[in-house]
Amino acid sequence: MNTGSYIDGRWFHPKAERLVRNINPADLDDMIAEFPAATKQDVQRAIDVAQAAFKNWKRTPGPERGRVLWRAADIARQRADEIARTLTREEGKILKEAKGEVMKGISLLEFYAGEGFRMHGKTLPSEARDTFTYTVRRPLGVVGLIAPWNFPWAIPVWKSAPALAAGNTVIFKPAELTPATASLLTEIYEQAGLPPGVFNMLVGSGSVVGEAIVNSPAIRAVSFTGSNEIGGALYVKAAQRGAKVTCEMGGKNAVIVMADADLDKAAVAIHGGAFGSTGQRCTATSRVIAHPAIKEALIEQLTEAAKKIKIGSGLDETVDMGPAVDEKQWKTDFDYINIGREEGARLLLGGKKPEHLMKGYFVEPTIFDNVAPGMRLFKEEVFGPVLSVTTANNLDEALSYANGVEYGLTTSIFTENIDTIMNFVEEVETGMVHVNEPTIGGEAQLPFGGTKSTGVGEREMAEEGLNFFTELKTVFINYSGKAERLFIR
């Protein structure tokens, strides 16, 4: 495995006092690799070479840039098992989920390979005679990408692929908890033929590498996924100097279950949304808002299914749920479990560390009932396998509970009534809406993102994800030699 950082087409070990050690969260005796932390000087060197590489990369035809991404998709498919196993050891999610994430990244590479052939502009009529007007999209320059640990393959792909397809050069900071998976992506881009300096990866802390990226006047755009605390501060700093910024942050996603819902279907969707990936995804289902006529039956299905979850190392293909990613997240999970108890919610299941799994950061699947809409457990993001259940008597009440949080990423409803569905779609305050399916999931060709405190800036993935990494140029061509424009401004 290549460790260290990657600048100008070469791997190197920064001369740093601190080492980034990534440990298997399912087995604390399993150290995967050590990465020497990059310095601010390393970041500046990467920015300098990225600026130099931009001159040629932006002039590379879009279809040729797309072919590099297509080759990367082919190489990733050949190395899919290696990527998935590294991801599982490093982040903790079960191998089945890791393989799914790898395939999601490959799909994104394929989509943006095609976008290299579709750099959309518009032809529009001019008010002036004999004048041809149109718009074209052009790359920004050097862009900074800051990725989280919970999807260490897919999210770096969905940030880097559109940036590269649009003709930008990249400074990429992976999460310190998951540099090994990031190094595999870097290797694959290199193998696919990406020119030196176009993609640069620096492993290090947010306070060093992240700050250097955000504060550099050479970085034209910053794409961040992570916590609201860090994202909010980053947004202010980068926006003050005029950089484009997009931040994808927290979520507190609800599933509304109406009296006419298919309970079997709802229970399966909630179970997967709440406990898949150990609840460590921004689209995870953390709240259930159920009609009183069906709540007890739904809870019975949810608790019986959760009791059957096998917890352990994700490399064991019989396991259903892996560990929390590290000690900090593990402690956060238990902090919120204790908060739920103190607030008076009724603990139905879980809430403990499995006694037979002492070498990792494991948490039992946990379900609370009678969680009032004003409780912290109902309103604040846990990012772990902790599910809160409350009651709502009608759609208006359910929507007020669902909307009554600072986040607005995704929400789902289970019902067979078309009027209820359409009213829900119209009134729910989230960037993504699901009907009779889980809160989780996304597709390469569809925009991903939320409202309110969940996100600022452009949506990710789809055409919108590419547009963020471009600027629009408007062109006026007078072909008669006579300028007869009425100048308004």
Q: For residue 309, what are its two tokens? A: 């979850």
**Beta-carbon-side half-sphere exposure of residue 70 (alpha carbons within 13 Å):** 11
Cα 148 to Cα 329: distance, rounded to the nearest angstrom = 13
Does the annotation count 247 as an active-site position? no
Q: Which residues of 427-458 are buried (b: 16+ CB within 10 A; e: fewer)?
A: ebbbbbebeebbbbebebeebbbbebbbbbbb
- Cα 41 to chain centroid distance, Å, stands at 28
Beta bridge partners of 475: 134
Cα 379 to Cα 367: distance, rounded to the nearest angstrom = 15
Residue 210 backbone zone (phi > 0: left; psi -120 to 50: alpha; other: beta): alpha
Does the annotation count 342 as an active-site position? no
- Cα 324 to chain centroid distance, Å, stands at 17
Q: Distance of CA 191 to CAs 9, 38, 86, 185, Å?
A: 11, 23, 18, 10
Which of 107, 139, 21, 219 has the alpha carbon at shortest distance from 473?
139
Q: Which residues of 187-197 are buried (b: 16+ CB within 10 A; e: fewer)?
A: bbbbebebeeb
Single-letter amino acid code for the residue at 109: L
Single-letter amino acid code for the residue at 467: N
**DSSP run (H or E) holding 427:** helix 418-427
Cα 43 to Cα 54: distance, rounded to the nearest angstrom = 16
Q: What is the DSSP letter of 453?
A: T
Beta bridge partners of 422: none
- Cα 157 to chain centroid distance, Å, stands at 10
| DSSP secondary structure of 231-297 | HHHHHHHHHHTT-EEEEE----EEEEE-TTS-HHHHHHHHHHHHHGGGG-STT-EEEEEE-TTTHHH
Catalytic-role residue among 97, 115, 176, 248: 248
> By the 8 A CB rule, do 208 and 38 touch?
yes
Cα 342 to Cα 330: distance, rounded to the nearest angstrom = 19
Catalytic-role residue among 91, 176, 282, 460: 282
Largest CA distance in the chain: 84
* Residues known to be catalytic: 248, 282
